[in-house]
Amino acid sequence: MRLAILGLISTAVASSYFPVTGDYRPFGPSYNHGAYPQDFSVVGPQLQAVHDSQTAPTGLAVDAEHNLYLTYPRNMGQTPNNVIVATGFNDEQPWPNAAIQNCTDGQDLATCFVNVQNVVLDSVGQLWVVDSGFPYDYEPGTDALYGGSKLMSFDQSGNHLRTYVIPKQYLAHAMNANDVRVNNTLGTNGYAFITDESTNSSILSVNLDDGSVIRRLLNTSVVRADEKYVGSYDGNLIYCWNKTEIGYCTTGADGIALASGNFYWGVLASRRYFFIPQSAMIDPNLSDDDVLAAVQDPGQCASEQAGFTADDKGRVYILASEHNAIYYVDTQQSEVDMTVNGVPPGGSGPVPPDRYVVKTLVRNGMIQHADSAAILDGWLYLNTNQLQLSASRSLSVVQGVDR
């Protein structure tokens, strides 16, 4: 078989078949995997497009009435709206209202959106927004604006409930709040967990009863990017360009899922993910060394990942942005459907980290850098923000070349 690539170079592919004892297939289509176009099929069910976003979304929530919320962050410039609710396939409205989308001169930054990164639903019908507090025109090297960096909760009608401002001391080292998940039944009145995707990176837990915050794992290997990380999307390698200067993306801890009493996170500019008991993340009496020692490493997940989510059966979903795919891993032994390390399927209790097996749920060209996901009524909703096309990552934008 010959493939013409770019009309310049031709490539010949010779595939070979690896026989499994007793499994010699006859000649015919599919004898050699990779020799036929149909070998590159999608994996999993068909996807359905439910909304065409006006700009690249990062955050996503779906409420009990199936309303779809998206965030349009201001990391690469001003966006007219920071949080919207979809009102049709092409239509959207600022949410919870237009006035909150921009802070006005002199306004208390805790009362308006500076740069919301995600919106998520908790288990009691409240919507939470996490604001990084970095204005779109911030000076690189500066910390987030005090008051701007915060969590806000709303009811489904958009009524504001409560604001948790990140205390000033935790804004040090350019703390960049990116994602949030809430466990409403942990402690007296629940806890929120926030990833700090800055280069130094860290993880924050917020006591939703008294608003106290703890910052953990600051600048440790389990939150920092791989040195000189390079990713790949749609077959194109991705550097973080500064105009014509080569750069390496250093995004730290990013996506979050809560499952089986654990806090799961991924380091974006890496193919690593980790988990830790939520009880360890919220305990102020543990030393930083104790917290680091409690981190579990279940092996790599083969992809850069901007988002995670979980269902009510302890299955953690990993948005495998490098592979146009959604991966998953079962964290409850009752859901495991194969023998791993001699342990048969089924049973009970949590899966220990040495038996985590990451699998593919769906792979499809429609998934263009999945960033956030939520599960409702047996459907997984995800947004695709096409980050690979953005100014610093796309060579066609940076230098006017295709690849």
Ligand X SMILES: *[C@@H]1O[C@H](CO)[C@@H](O)[C@H](O)[C@H]1NC(C)=O
CA distances from 127 to 124, 140, 216, 403 (A): 9, 30, 25, 40
Least gap, CB of 46 to ligand X (angstroms): 29
Q: Does 353 contact ligand X by CB under 6 A?
A: no
Q: Does 135 contact ligand X by CB under 6 A?
A: no
Q: Does 199 contact ligand X by CB under 6 A?
A: yes
Least gap, CB of 223 to ligand X (angstroms): 10
Tell me which of 34, 45, 77, 80 binds ligand X, using CB under 6 A.
80
Q: Does 183 contact ligand X by CB under 6 A?
A: yes
Least gap, CB of 281 to ligand X (angstroms): 11
Q: Which secondary-structure segment (H or E) carries 267?
A: strand 262-267
Closest by alpha carbon to 388, among 38, 56, 129? 56
Q: Does 378 contact ligand X by CB under 6 A?
A: no
Supply φ then ψ for residue 91, to 5 degrees.
-110, 145
Closest by alpha carbon to 80, among 101, 66, 65? 101
Least gap, CB of 44 to ligand X (angstroms): 24
Task: Write the DSSP symbol of residue 78.
Answer: -
Instruction: Select the span of 47-55, 112-120, 259-267, 294-302 touching ligand X (CB under 6 A).
Output: 259-267
Q: Cβ neighbours of residue 14 under 8 Å, at least 6 residues apart?
A: none
Report residue 306 as tokens: 């901007």
Supply φ then ψ for residue 233, to 5 degrees.
-130, 135
Compose the 7-46 pattern: x for residues touching ligand X by CB under 6 A, - for all others.
Answer: ----------------------------------------
3-state secondary structure of 266: strand
Instruction: Select the span of 96-104, 152-160, 294-302, 350-358 touching ligand X (CB under 6 A).
Output: 96-104
Q: Cβ neighbours of residue 236 under 8 Å, at least 6 residues apart?
A: 388, 395, 403
Instruction: Select the span of 178-186, 293-301, 337-345, 364-372 touching ligand X (CB under 6 A).
Output: 178-186
Pairing of strands 379-384, 359-363: unpaired
Query: How many CB atoms within 10 Å of residue 91?
Result: 12
Q: Does 173 contact ligand X by CB under 6 A?
A: yes
> 186 or 370: whose CB is closer to ligand X?
186
> 94 or 352: whose CB is closer to ligand X?
94
219 close to 196: Cβ distance less than 8 angstroms: no
Least gap, CB of 258 to ligand X (angstroms): 4
Least gap, CB of 222 to ligand X (angstroms): 12
Tell me which of 174, 214, 376, 389 binds ligand X, using CB under 6 A.
174
Q: Does 285 contact ligand X by CB under 6 A?
A: yes
Q: State the sign of the Cα–Cα–Cα–Cα dihedral 389, 392, 398, 403.
A: negative
Q: Does 352 contact ligand X by CB under 6 A?
A: no
Q: Which secondary-structure segment (H or E) carries 398?
A: helix 395-399
Q: Does 81 contact ligand X by CB under 6 A?
A: yes
Least gap, CB of 76 to ligand X (angstroms): 12
Report residue 187 as tokens: 């402690």
233 close to 305: Cβ distance less than 8 angstroms: no
C-alpha 22/C-alpha 17 separation (Å) is: 14
> 245 or 337: whose CB is closer to ligand X?
245
Cα-to-chain-centroid distance, residue 286 = 27
Q: Does 53 contact ligand X by CB under 6 A?
A: no
Tell me which of 185, 212, 396, 399 binds ligand X, using CB under 6 A.
185
Tell me which of 16, 142, 212, 219 binds ligand X, using CB under 6 A.
219
In the complex, the residues that contact ligand X under the rule CB under 6 A are 78, 80-81, 94, 98, 101-102, 140-141, 173-174, 183, 185-186, 198-200, 219, 242, 245, 258-261, 278, 283, 285
